[in-house]
Amino acid sequence: MPDIAVILGGPSPEHDVSVLTGLQAAHELQRAGRTVHALYWSKTAEWFAVDAALEADAFLDGVPRGAQPLRLVLGAGGGFEAVGGRFTKQRATAFEVAVVCCHGGPGEDGTLQGALDGAGIAYTGPGVAAAALGMDKLAFAGVMTAAGIRTLPRVALTPATDGVAFGGPYIVKPRFGGSSIGIKVVEDVTTARALLRSSVHLRDGAVLEPFRPDLFDVQVALRRWPDTEVSAIERPLRSPGGSGAAGGEILGYTDKYVGGEGMASAPRQLPAELPAGVAEAVRAAARRIGDLALVRGVARIDFLTDGDDLVVNEINTIPGSLARYLWIDPAVPFARLLSDMVAEAVARPTGRYSAAGADGLVLRGASSIAAKLA
């Protein structure tokens, strides 16, 4: 039975939640009898091998005691090496697959995925293109609209943004951030633009969309291996009086994650009490989105509804707790969810680079570089 690595942490605002998700996965894999290597990606983007049996409090001060520094080496025969000596002389004998548990930032936007592809490491979750699409709220909304899947109007917010085609109040979101960090509700575009100067979460881009207090969140998990399956639908519950970005009107970071087990302990209605037509529309849209967004592993798709109208909000390609708590109907135990993700990573590799066609013909026919620059 092959060994497995679990990658947790990362230089992201969602670092702590990523640690929780990674430890949940590592402990469950160990309970299933698998040999697990825990690879901790620190807040400063350094790599360490840590004990997979650690608890969350071991990471309170950053790198846990006894951590072994690592480096990630790209290229043929690449992999994780111990600083000052090989982590493994032959990476394949150390672990066959990495279970990626990093939320937000470079762990979920394609950066980590590209590095793992470059090192020849099989991994769970989205490939580079799918990760980048899922993290870019503007691009994701554009793909959905082009496919005929309804979303709220969404535009890029820049210092030059003036009038928009829809009225306020507005939600301002990081274009490339997670699903609940850095989100604000504002009354006008002028206030929205001011956030670009004051919010660290908006420095790489922002989007603007209408705030619809009549809509509430519903979400569902989806996987496409070994077959396409959609989980039970949940309705996350917002904290009354204000953990959200609009006094409880928007699902906030605290609502989702601050409860001891990350997303798995957040308050919710599960299964959600929805009209049958809306529930079926959620499932049908999720299946279509899974194909369009190239879902690998387990993704969580977030919708907004008033109990009648339905729009897709966003996709989380590496959801909190790997959305394990949603698999009650159909019932998929966490151990099987992880086992299937590992099997998919082996059967559907992401990095298949090829130099076919690079046969030197162009180089042989080229004149001198100096002549081309003249």
Q: What is the pLDDT of residue 180?
A: 73
Low-confidence ranges of the chain (pLDDT < 70): 1, 84-93, 179, 239-265, 374
State pTM to two decimals.
Answer: 0.89
Q: Which residues of 150-176 are buried (b: 16+ CB within 10 A; e: fewer)?
A: ebbebbebeeebeebeeebbbbbbbbb
CATH superfamily membership of 126-152+213-330: ATP-grasp fold, B domain (3.30.470.20)
Q: What is the pLDDT of residue 92?
A: 37
Q: What is the pLDDT of residue 254?
A: 57
Q: What is the CATH number of domain 4-123?
A: 3.40.50.20
Q: What is the pLDDT of residue 361?
A: 87
8 A C-beta contact, residue 234 and residue 220:
yes
Q: Are strands 184-186 and 155-157 parallel, antiparallel or unpaired?
A: unpaired
Residues 155-170 pLDDT 10s: 999 999 998 999 999 9
Taking alpha carbons only, the member of 15, 12, 27, 9 closest to residue 324 is 27
The DSSP result for 137-154, as a single string, is: HHHHHHHHHHTT--B---
Q: Are strands 4-9 and 36-41 parallel, antiparallel or unpaired?
A: parallel
Residues 315-374 pLDDT 10s: 999 999 999 999 999 999 999 999 999 999 999 999 778 888 898 888 888 878 777 776
Q: Structural domain boundaries of the chain? A: 4-123, 126-152+213-330, 153-211
Q: Which fold has domain 153-211?
A: Dna Ligase; domain 1 (3.30.1490)
DSSP E strand boundaries for 155-307: 155-157, 170-174, 184-186, 206-210, 216-223, 229-236, 268-269, 298-305
Residues 253-268 pLDDT 10s: 455 555 555 566 678 9
| Dihedral sign for Cα atoms in the order 105, 77, 24, 312 | positive
